[in-house]
Chain A
């Protein structure tokens, strides 16, 4: 038997359903392609929150600002192709705030570490001690595993299914 694997994309996704005798806000049901489709390029919209930890959805389109975090982050590309360019930070350049990515004013003046080009299904390490810039020639979608921080955008009421409480 030949199986057909169903994946989603910005252009084509089929959102599921949530039918519960409960407050739907407790489940925060959303869809990464829908969220990215309504987001500005490189907004980092939280779709997962586990106390201080979040997963953010990013619509990659064009070139992003430079970001850095005081800990490892990870990106999973869900649609399209995203190139991550890395610059090594000096010790005193590594962000020292509690957590999450910060947006830098410009490319840091450290040495280029290299770059990673990732497509759907690829997971990329965004290592502590580096800054990174994302770029995408066409609109793409990534999920960022990180910490709730200065650039985390929260619009739960807009992205989640709220049912009758909406």
Chain B
């Protein structure tokens, strides 16, 4: 890889595999995500989409391959030092299916926590930034509420604000609307759309097909631990070349 390519790619995976014991989740994945690109990852359950996403920020240790996120590279063979792993994780913000807000902290504390603990910002500075982010996700009035008092859609928007608070270079979304009512999911999708148009690099594992088509630039289709198709989002959805993609799209789009 030349250095100009390296600068262009925010996320780069080479030959990445993951096994749990004897069971192969996915193998030999190559993937490049350019700076500012929005990539949707779709595919049937068990395809390995979520595990792949979790390998990108090392919540799961890949069994083989090399992962580069925003200039931080980790090889599966020699797992990086703690500080290298933490630096890589800081470059990638993650939003989970079940939000995972900290229930013992109020909304503002949730968002300020890592700013103070990881970035070393002062409490005042962090709270100011948190308030801005809350405003951005449309929840300016919720600073002092506890997560349990917020709806699922609100919790997910808070989780997005929390991930943005450490200034990540890429955002990873793991089925961010799957645990939400369709209607509530729309508030979350709206926030994600705003992020995308602001130029954030995003990788989104999702079952929201219209969102994948309308918001993402590229589409990756995974099945049985492999990438079976990838390319321009609209093109892939309009003219899938792989039979497996066709069956999957029929099942989720034409139901």
Check if A and B associate: no
Q: Which residues of A contact B (CB under 8 A)?
A: none
Q: Which residues of B contact A (CB under 8 A)?
A: none
